[in-house]
Chain A
Amino acid sequence: MITRNKRPVFINLFQIKLPVAGVMSIAHRAAGILIFVSIPFWPYVLELSLESPEGFARAAGIMQSNWLMPVYLLLLWSLFHHLLAGIRYLLLDIDIGVEKPLFRQTAMTVLVAAPVLVLLILAVAL
């Protein structure tokens, strides 16, 4: 007997339970977008830092500013997550970690490792 799906199907984002690798993948995207948005900031700081000794001091001040710290931490997480998830994708490309237990474990490792690295950096810096 054929069981029919109830149609039409509406996609409710709150009812979809993404697997770990799915969450990691979405976060890889989000991190990439965050890094992209930060791009114009970097030539600005670079130019300032190479302008003159005064400019260097101002750029160093910007990089150490307290009110920008949450933004830097978010960007740091983005860079770590994007790098680690990227390495995982490259390994998947050469058939490493494609099987299920490892596939999930590496995704979980990436998800956990990125914030842990940010906290480590924060602990060293403070």
Chain B
Amino acid sequence: MSRKLSGFKAWVLQRISAVYLGFFSLYVTFYLLMNTPADYEQWSGWVNSLPVMLAFMLAIGLTLLHAWIGIRDVLIDYIPMTGIRLIVMTLVGLMLSACGLWALLILA
């Protein structure tokens, strides 16, 4: 398998990340509906508990991966000019990594 994030590898990763994110978002949604945090202490206590924090960190990483593969496919489909496509892909990559690092630093 190549090191590049394309073809069969991207297809598999897109599905693995989709399954995780699907279950994760259902869990977070139902938790917040059932135990809506009333104040700062409850909210930060929940987010900072180790299993929840790890689940969030994993979700952040997989969201970036999932978003990158998806947006990359869209850009390849709609932007035929190689130069412009590369510039847009670079900007997307920078935006995603910046947001990912930002979110991880908040949680860490």
A residues contacting B by CB (< 8 A) are: 29, 32-33, 35-36, 39-40, 42-43, 46-47, 49-50, 52-53, 55-57, 79, 83, 86-87, 90, 93
**CB contact under 8 A between A42 and B19, given known A50-B44, A83-B25:** no
The 8 A CB mask of B37-59 against A (1 = contact, 0 = none) is 00111011001000000000000
**CB contact under 8 A between A29 and B74, given known A36-B67, A83-B25:** yes
**Nearest B-chain residue to A44, judged by Cβ:** B102
Q: Is B43 in contact with A33, judged by CB distance below 8 angstroms?
A: no
Partner of B99, one of A33, A43, A83: A43
Extra A-B contacts (13), CB below 8 Å, given A43-B106, A86-B22, A90-B19? A36-B71, A39-B96, A40-B95, A42-B103, A49-B40, A50-B43, A50-B44, A50-B47, A52-B40, A79-B25, A86-B18, A87-B22, A93-B15
User: Count of B residues near A, CB < 8 Å?
Assistant: 23
B102 to chain A: which residues have CB within 8 Å?
43, 47
Q: Is B40 in contact with A56, judged by CB distance below 8 angstroms?
A: yes
